[in-house]
Structure 1
């Protein structure tokens, strides 16, 4: 069995963090990715945008890593959205109902709109750079 690697680049935006993932999210690579995403969701107080356009393959472990990241973000009160999800992975997100917890967006701009805080007070705090 060949080794699989997922490259992960973290880009800090003005008020959010984008995580660019490339490679195959499978049984071999997903535990490391899950650990890194969990650590990021724990340490950042900012919304996360997962850019999955470079992920060429997902198996159950890859989807589990994304689901665990969503759970950690929910626990911390941090928004999470995904962009660039390929058709097969999008179908799996829908079958597993992950799209109900993680908005699947066409662009990063759309993802940022999905991540806006729901109330005026939360939006004002977010614009002022305050974290939950």
Structure 2
């Protein structure tokens, strides 16, 4: 069995954390990814770009769903960006998209996660 790994780049935004993942999310790599994602989502809203993830197995999908639930428990939340067609199909079949927003862009993900400020709302009303 070959070693698999997921590379993770974490970028701190003003009000959220953006994570870029690449590699394979499988039984071997998912536990270390879960640990770090849980740490991050416990602190701030999390946008996870999975466009570089070439493969998800059941454990990889489970880690994503568990991280999203952790975000809900902590009051932060998580959204995914860049899901490839096959894993997205699995997310939808398993109805995981009801727990984890699947977004087409980081901007859309932020709309799903961040509460609007009074200034932003006031600007829309003017």
Task: Give the TM-score, by structure 1 length.
Answer: 0.85
Separation in 2, partners of 1:15, 1:41 = 12
What RMSD, in angstroms, separates the aligned Cα atoms of the two structures?
Answer: 1.2
In structure 1, the partner of 2:122 is: none
1:1-47 deviations in whole A, cap 9, x for unaligned?
A: 000000111100111110110000001101111111112222x1x21
In structure 2, the partner of 1:65 is: 63
In structure 1, the partner of 2:112 is: 114
1:73-92 deviations in whole A, cap 9, x for unaligned?
A: 01001121100000001011
In structure 2, the partner of 1:11 is: 11
Contact 2:19 2:48 (8 Å CA) reproduced: yes
Q: Which runs of 4+ in 1 moved over 2 A?
A: none
* Structure 1 stretches lacking a partner, 5+ long: 125-132
Separation in 2, partners of 1:80, 1:62 = 15
Residue aligned with 2:53, SS: strand
In structure 2, the partner of 1:29 is: 29
* Structure 2 stretches lacking a partner, 5+ long: 119-126
Separation in 1, partners of 2:46, 2:113 = 8
**Count of aligned positions:** 118
Residue aligned with 2:19, SS: strand
Task: Give the TM-score, by structure 2 length.
Answer: 0.89
